[in-house]
Copies of this chain bind each other. A is one copy, B any other.
């Protein structure tokens, strides 16, 4: 490996502009107390020489690393990549996070971390020591891992916890789950549905509960029974099939179903169709997440969009404008929205 050196350094700029290193440094970092004329002269040299500061050197001298680290669960992420089922969490994360970082001259790098490992702390600690990120974004199931949040706050590294409402250090950010469930339920009620089924997600994820809470709250507010048509699921296709069968066996059967994710909605669609029901004629369907698959079903699925990109974008902003006072602020909620496609309609007037 050839030993490479910086082509043009702060020294070159300083001597070219006939000023001290410090002045150049001040200009680079946009610090005050530099006379405009001076600043212009230095900037001219910078442009002329095509100078770009070395992040490594900046970091070395105790400044920032200009790196924001996003952390995802290793096992789940790799499994999703291998399965190639069209899940695009990582892509949306990058879309929101990378672009927002770029706006501020930062860079987002992302790491896979083993939750199950008993040495999460060491693993993460090593990455942090090596990279020295200026901020970290945690995603479930890491967001509420005390080993991780503890380590981060001990090291005084600002961090955001996505999908967490717990108080404590770091910014808690949620993705509108409860509100979205209300939105979906209200929409169906508005269409004329009264018996609305709900397939819950795995209790391993807090958002499963929030989504159900929203459903229950909305049903209750309309004077509808929030319990009779609520069935458990675990986000898998198989659990969606089971829940749908259970729901359709109820007399009178529901005229609409909200599934807590797209896979289970897909299962509901297939199951209902197999039973001779027409979607949305006989049964309306709304799914959560709005991953690409919602576009490939027939009919296309009306879905609640999980605002992944917007959430990461917000997380980056929180991290970079960080003022310690807002640290313990109440959770930030990024609302999701309902994307109306072809799987929802008014119930038949002759519905049982």
Nearest residue, chain B, Cβ from A290: B84
Q: How far is the CA of A92 from the CA of B82 in the complex (A)?
A: 8
Which of B54, B81, B132 is in CB contact (< 8 Å) with A129? B54
Asked if residues A52 and B129 are in contact (CB atoms below 8 Å), the reply is yes
A129 to chain B: which residues have CB within 8 Å? 6-8, 51-54
- Cβ of A134 within 8 Å of any chain B Cβ, yes or no, is yes
A1-25 to B contact mask, C-beta < 8 Å, 1/0: 1111111100000000000000000
Q: How far is the CA of A309 from the CA of B81 in the complex (A)?
A: 10
In the complex, chain A residues 74-119 whose Cβ is within 8 Å of any chain B Cβ: 78, 80-82, 84-86, 88, 90-92, 94-95, 98-99, 107, 109, 112
A122 to chain B: which residues have CB within 8 Å? 50
Asked if residues B62 and A81 are in contact (CB atoms below 8 Å), the reply is no
A341 to chain B: which residues have CB within 8 Å? none
A98 to chain B: which residues have CB within 8 Å? 112
Asked if residues B4 and A156 are in contact (CB atoms below 8 Å), the reply is yes
Nearest residue, chain B, Cβ from A266: B296
Asked if residues A62 and B293 are in contact (CB atoms below 8 Å), the reply is no
Q: How far is the CA of A1 from the CA of B156 in the complex (A)?
A: 9
Asked if residues A59 and B62 are in contact (CB atoms below 8 Å), the reply is no
Asked if residues B125 and A3 are in contact (CB atoms below 8 Å), the reply is no
Q: How far is the CA of A155 from the CA of B6 in the complex (A)?
A: 10
Question: Given known contacts A78-B95, A95-B78, is B109 in contact with A5 (CB within 8 Å)?
Answer: no
Which of B3, B54, B60 is in CB contact (< 8 Å) with A130? B54
- Cβ of A44 within 8 Å of any chain B Cβ, yes or no, is no
A99 to chain B: which residues have CB within 8 Å? 78
A131 to chain B: which residues have CB within 8 Å? 55, 107
A222 to chain B: which residues have CB within 8 Å? none
Asked if residues B64 and A60 are in contact (CB atoms below 8 Å), the reply is no
Asked if residues B295 and A297 are in contact (CB atoms below 8 Å), the reply is no
Question: Given known contacts A86-B296, A91-B90, A295-B85, is B52 in contact with A4 (CB within 8 Å)?
Answer: no
The distance from the CB of A53 to the nearest CB of chain B, in whole angstroms, is 7
Q: How far is the CA of A50 from the CA of B130 in the complex (A)?
A: 12
- Cβ of A168 within 8 Å of any chain B Cβ, yes or no, is no
- 4 extra A-B contacts, CB within 8 A, seeds A54-B130, A84-B290: A54-B60, A55-B131, A86-B88, A292-B293
Q: Which A residues contact B (CB, under 8 angstroms)?
A: 1-8, 50-57, 59-60, 62, 64-66, 78, 80-82, 84-86, 88, 90-92, 94-95, 98-99, 107, 109, 112, 122, 125-126, 129-132, 134, 155-157, 290-293, 295-298, 309, 322
> Can you give 21 contacting A-B residue pairs, CB < 8 Å?
A1-B64, A5-B62, A6-B132, A50-B125, A52-B129, A54-B129, A54-B132, A56-B56, A56-B132, A66-B130, A78-B99, A80-B91, A81-B91, A81-B92, A81-B94, A81-B95, A85-B295, A86-B296, A90-B90, A107-B131, A296-B297
Nearest 6 pairs of A and B residues by beta carbon: A86-B292, A86-B86, A296-B296, A52-B129, A56-B59, A81-B95
